[in-house]
C-alpha cells in the first residue's frame, strides 16, 4: 500500500500558524500587483470560490475583505523539511514531489507501525503535534489512486481505497481527476463521450492513442488498474531556478537587472543550502506577446556564488536585444555537481580569490537570513520589487 501525504492549504496554513490573528480569516498568499495571482488560499477563502492560480484582482472581487500576504518561501521550505523528516521516520522509501506533498511506501513497515491505516494516523498525529499543521492522507495499492484519495476528504482527511474496491473506484472516477489529464486532454475525452475511467475501459486503445498520443496508453492502463509507477526516493535535483512575472511590461534594463540581482541571490542561496555547484547559468525572458527566449552559458569553474550567477545572467541580458517589452524574467542554474567534488586549480588565482571572497560574504548573509529572515539583510543596491514570484 502507498500513502500520499498532502499538507492542507500549506502556504496559507503556515501564515496562519505564524500569525494567530489571521486564523479564521479569508486569506491568500500571493502578489498584490496588477498581475498578481493566488499561490495558496485558506479554506476560509475557498468558501468564496477562490483558488490557487486565480488572478488576484478576481479574488478581491469575490471577497472584498480578503487578506493578502506575500509569500515567504524560505519559511515554507523550513516547515517542509520538518514534515519530510517526520515521514522519513516511518519508511525509508519516501518520495517528495513538491514542497507540501510526498508519497510513502508502507511495504515492510507493518512490524513497527502496524497497518497502513495505523501508520497514517500516527503520521497525522505527529505532524499536528510537532508542526501544528494538518495534512490529508490517501492510502491505496496504486500510486495515482493514493493521490486521488488524499483529496477526497480535505482538510484533515484520511481515505483508504482497499484492493477490493479498486475496480469500482476506478470505474466511477471522473477523467478530470486523473493526474496528467489537463484541459486539452479533458476536452478531447469529452468530445469522445468519455467522462469516467469506466468509459475509457470501453474505448479502444488505438483511438485513445490517436487522440492523446502516448498518454492514451497510460490512461488505458490506469483504467484497467495498472500503474507501474513506484515510490522513488531521493530524486536528484537537476536544476534550481526562479522566475517572476512583472507588474508591468518593461524594456528598462536597470529594472530588469534589479530583478536579476534578487533572483540570483535566491538561486545562489538554494545552491549553497543544498550543497551544489552549478556549471550552467540560464536567463529566461518572456515578452509582452508571450514569446519565450532562453540563453545559457557554461561557467569555466562551477560556482554557487550569487555574485557569479548575477554577473553571468547580467551579461546574457546585455547581449539580448529587447525589441519588445518584457513581462517575465528568470534565472536558473543547472548541470549541478556536489560542492564536495574536488575542483581543478584555477588558472587565474586573482579571480579565484575574488570569488572566494564573495562566497564567504554569501555564507555570512545566509546565516543572518536563516536566523532573522530574508528581509533582515540584502544588497544595498537592491530595492525589493513589488512583483511576486510565479515559480
In CATH, what number is assigned to the domain containing residue 23? 3.40.1170.60
- For the stretch 192-197, contacts whose Cβ atoms lie closer than 8 Å and that sit 24 or more positions apart, written own/partner, are 196/171, 196/172, 197/170, 197/171, 197/172, 197/173, 197/222, 197/223
Same domain, 79 and 26: no
CB burial class (10 A; 0-12, 13-18, 19+) of residue 8? middle
Same domain, 268 and 300: yes
Q: Would you say residue 326 lies in a domain? A: yes
The 10s digit of each residue's pLDDT in 139-195 is 999 999 999 999 999 999 999 999 999 999 999 999 999 988 888 888 889 989 999
Residues with Cβ within 8 Å of 241's Cβ and at least 6 positions away in sequence, in order, are 267, 282, 284, 330, 331, 332, 333, 334, 391
Average pLDDT over residues 74-96: 93
Same domain, 372 and 244: yes
Same domain, 368 and 261: yes
The 10s digit of each residue's pLDDT in 23-80 is 999 999 998 876 788 999 999 999 999 999 899 999 999 999 999 999 998 899 999 9
Q: Would you say residue 389 lies in a domain? A: no
- Active site annotation includes 101: yes
Same domain, 185 and 262: no
Phi-psi region for residue 234, left (φ > 0), alpha (ψ -120 to 50) or beta? left
- Count of the separate structural domains present in the chain: 4
Q: Which of 15, 95, 101, 266 is catalytic?
A: 101
Distance CA 72, CA 74 (A): 6
- Any idea what the CATH number is for the domain that residue 100 is in? 3.30.70.270
Q: What is the pLDDT of residue 347?
A: 43
Interstrand relation of 158-160 and 135-140 (parallel, antiparallel or unpaired): parallel
Mean pLDDT across the chain: 87
Task: Show the domain range for 46.
Answer: 10-73
Q: Phi and psi at residue 257, in whole multiples of 5°? A: -65, -35
Instruction: Give the model's confidence band at 352: pLDDT under 50 very low, under 70 low, under 90 confident, else very high.
Output: very low
363-375: string of b/e by CB count within 10 Å (b at 16+)? Answer: eebbeebeeeebe
The 10s digit of each residue's pLDDT in 306-325 is 999 999 999 999 999 999 99
Same domain, 122 and 64: no
Q: What is the pLDDT of residue 356?
A: 55
Q: Would you say residue 125 lies in a domain? A: yes
Same domain, 198 and 161: no
CB 102 within 8 A of CB 84: yes
Amino acid at each position: 500500500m502507498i500513502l500520499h501525504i498532502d499538507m492542507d492549504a500549506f502556504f496559507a496554513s503556515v501564515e496562519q500558524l505564524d500569525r494567530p490573528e489571521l486564523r479564521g480569516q479569508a486569506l491568500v498568499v500571493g502578489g498584490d500587483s496588477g498581475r498578481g495571482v493566488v499561490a495558496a488560499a485558506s479554506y476560509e477563502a475557498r468558501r468564496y470560490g477562490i483558488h490557487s492560480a486565480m488572478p488576484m484582482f478576481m479574488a478581491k472581487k469575490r471577497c472584498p475583505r480578503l487578506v493578502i500576504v506575500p509569500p515567504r518561501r524560505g519559511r515554507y521550505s523550513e516547515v517542509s523539511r520538518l514534515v519530510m523528516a517526520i515521514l522519513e521516520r516511518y519508511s525509508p522509501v519516501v518520495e517528495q514531489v513538491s514542497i507540501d506533498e510526498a508519497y510513502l511506501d508502507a511495504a515492510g513497515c507493518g512490524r513497527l507501525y502496524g497497518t497502513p491505516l495505523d501508520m497514517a494516523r500516527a503520521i497525522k498525529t505527529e505532524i499536528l503535534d510537532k508542526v501544528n499543521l494538518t495534512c490529508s492522507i490517501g492510502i491505496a495499492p496504486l500510486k495515482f489512486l493514493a493521490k486521488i484519495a488524499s483529496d477526497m476528504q480535505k482538510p484533515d482527511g484520511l481515505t483508504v481505497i482497499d484492493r477490493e474496491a479498486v475496480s469500482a473506484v476506478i470505474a466511477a472516477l471522473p477523467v478530470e481527476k486523473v493526474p496528467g489529464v489537463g484541459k486539452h486532454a479533458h476536452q478531447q475525452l469529452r468530445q469522445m463521450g468519455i467522462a469516467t475511467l469506466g468509459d475509457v475501459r470501453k474505448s479502444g486503445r488505438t483511438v485513445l492513442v490517436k487522440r492523446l498520443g502516448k498518454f492514451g496508453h497510460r490512461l488505458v492502463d490506469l483504467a484497467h488498474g495498472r500503474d507501474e509507477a513506484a515510490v522513488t526516493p531521493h530524486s536528484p535535483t537537476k536544476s534550481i531556478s526562479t522566475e517572476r512575472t512583472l507588474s508591468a511590461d518593461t524594456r528598462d534594463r536597470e529594472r530588469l537587472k534589479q530583478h536579476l540581482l534578487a533572483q540570483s541571490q535566491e538561486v545562489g542561496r538554494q545552491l549553497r543550502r543544498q550543497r551544489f555547484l552549478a556549471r550552467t547559468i540560464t536567463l529566461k525572458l518572456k515578452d509582452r506577446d508571450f514569446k519565450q527566449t532562453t540563453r545559457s552559458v557554461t561557467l569555466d569553474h562551477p560556482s554557487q556564488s550569487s555574485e557569479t550567477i548575477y554577473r553571468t545572467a547580467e551579461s546574457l541580458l546585455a547581449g539580448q536585444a529587447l525589441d519588445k517589452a518584457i513581462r517575465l524574467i528568470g534565472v536558473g542554474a543547472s548541470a549541478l555537481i556536489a560542492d564536495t567534488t574536488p575542483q581543478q586549480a584555477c588558472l587565474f588565482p586573482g579571480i579565484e580569490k575574488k570569488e572566494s571572497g564573495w562566497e564567504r560574504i554569501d555564507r555570512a548573509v545566509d546565516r543572518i537570513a536563516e536566523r532573522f529572515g530574508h528581509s533582515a539583510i540584502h544588497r544595498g543596491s537592491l530595492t525589493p520589487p513589488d512583483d511576486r514570484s510565479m515559480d
